[in-house]
Amino acid sequence: MRADSGFCLPEWLNLLEARRLSYIVVARLLKPVQRLLKKDLIWQASSVPGTEVAEVWHQEANWPKPRRLILLRHRVAEKRAARQRTGGKLLIDCPGYLYQALVTNLSQSVSPVEVWRRYNGRAGCEEVIKQLDADFALPKLCLKRFWSTEAALSLAIVSYNLTQLFQRHLGWLDRVTAATLRFRLFTTGGIISETGGMTTIRLAVRDPQERAWWRRLLEKMISLVPNCNAVAQSPG
């Protein structure tokens, strides 16, 4: 389980531990954690330039027991020079660094930097949530009954997955939103007709360059043998 600092609550952590679930949760940089950062911690260089890590066993006032706390600090100047984006909070008493803290119950065989990397995989989920929000009406799927809400949410996620599989099939490496797919593909006008006993799709596409792109797109979609010839994301 990966969660942001809004879920760093004793009730939530206790529940995860009672269910024997592994977790990585962002710890809040409140006064107790800030006091830890000001102490003479043993900071170790990581494989990530400009990032150092430390770990301690820490117990908040409302925690029933100490928990493993992973601390990270990122040198601001070095990150800016390398034009790297990073998370973290700037503390007035500790200038020059951005700080992060993660609480986890993973065993110490998992190194601090590996714990951080595992949590960072959650960033991809944020993009999915944004697309479900913008293109699939995620915030509006609240119906009168719980199971109908779940059915609507599941349908939205299935629709999202289909758009991603469709893009993979076309060989697109950079994902586009459902709104872009609608603009380029799904809203193209056309008719289905029977000509000489053959079903024909006639699309309202006049530009020669766009017609050539549509032809490659359809050939890729109906090909019985998968191939690695990707189709451009747009006629241009």
Q: What is the mean pLDDT of the chain?
A: 86
Distance CA 61, CA 28 (A): 13
Is residue 46's pLDDT more than 80? yes
Q: Using DSSP bridges, classify how beta strands 67-75 and 24-26 pair: parallel, antiparallel or unpaired.
A: unpaired
Q: Could you read off the pLDDT of 126-159 as tens digits, one per residue?
A: 778 888 888 888 777 777 888 888 888 888 889 8
198 contacts: CB under 8 Å, gap ≥ 6: none
Mean pLDDT confidence for 29-53? 87
pLDDT in tens, 168-201: 888 888 888 888 888 888 888 889 998 888 988 8
Q: For tokens 């944020």, name the residue.
A: 126
Residue 85 vs residue 202, higher pLDDT: 202
Q: Quick one: DSSP state of residue 18?
A: H
Tokens of 111: 């190194």
> Residue 82 — pLDDT band, cuts 50, 70, 90?
low
How wide is the angle at C-alpha 164 spanned by C-alphas 159 and 170, nearest 5°? Answer: 130
Phi/psi zone of residue 4: left (φ > 0), alpha (ψ -120 to 50 degrees), beta? beta
Is it the case that residue 205 has pLDDT exceeding 90? no
